[in-house]
Amino acid sequence: MTGTSGSLLDAGAVIGCPHGGRVTATTSAGGVRAAGATVATAAHTYAVTGCPHTVDGVPTPCVAVRWTADGTGITVDGAPVLLDTSAAQCLSAALVPQGPPVVQTAQRKVTVR
């Protein structure tokens, strides 16, 4: 856990797939909030919309993101929180990895020592 840091992701974070689609977190109305937005965790589902990716002329858009939570030890309702430094992969409908998501903006800096 020493030295883990990054910006906290929440429902207000602007995240895209590597092809320009928009990533949104499916969060519950409850949960822990930071600056009024629900904190994102590995337990939430992340959908991608508007991805224009094609492979050999066949539309193969990103449809979901699978995050691997960092070992920060910080959890919300037992699920690890996500940072902009957390490993992730955008996936096609066939669950084929298509590259990491691009985090454009996130909450505040969090450091675990």
Q: What tens-digit pLDDT sequence spans the chain (113 residues)?
A: 445 677 888 877 889 999 999 998 876 556 777 777 788 888 888 999 999 999 999 999 999 999 987 666 788 888 888 888 889 999 999 999 999 999 887 656 555 44
pTM above 0.75, yes or no: yes
Cβ(17)–Cβ(90) below 8 Å: yes
Burial 2-22 (b: 16+ CB within 10 A, else e): eebebbbbbbebebbbebebe
Contact partners, residue 89, CB within 8 Å, separation at least 6: 65, 66, 97, 98, 99, 100
Structural domains of the chain, ranges and CATH numbers in brackets: 4-107 (2.60.200)
Neighbouring CB atoms inside 10 A of 43's CB total 17
Quick one: which of 23, 11, 41, 43 has its CA closest to 102? 23
